[in-house]
Amino acid sequence: DNEQTHSPNDVSIVPNRVYTLRFEIDPKTAVFIIYLDNSVIDTYEPPNPDQWLQGPISYNVHLGTEPNSSGKSYVDDVKFGQLK
């Protein structure tokens, strides 16, 4: 299995607010840049970009709460495409 993984930085958010999460992947270098509301929250330069660029890429969004609390989170309006 040639699955490649990266765990991004933890980011604190305010409950009951809508955020825009954007991922950019350079098609030549496989460098990832991840934005939250147009601010860079993480970058990743894979040590083996050829493997990243030749296979499927998936990204998991993990949403959590503080201990002894609860909440709901939604991720919707997902779009894939080339930036212009």
User: CB–CB of 38/76 below 8 Å?
Assistant: no
Rounded to two decimals, the pTM is: 0.68
1 versus 38: the higher-pLDDT residue is 38
pLDDT above 60 (res 77): yes
The Cα angle at residue 22 between residues 18 and 23, in degrees rounded to 5: 150
Please write the tens of the pLDDT for every residue from 24-45: 888 888 888 888 889 998 888 8
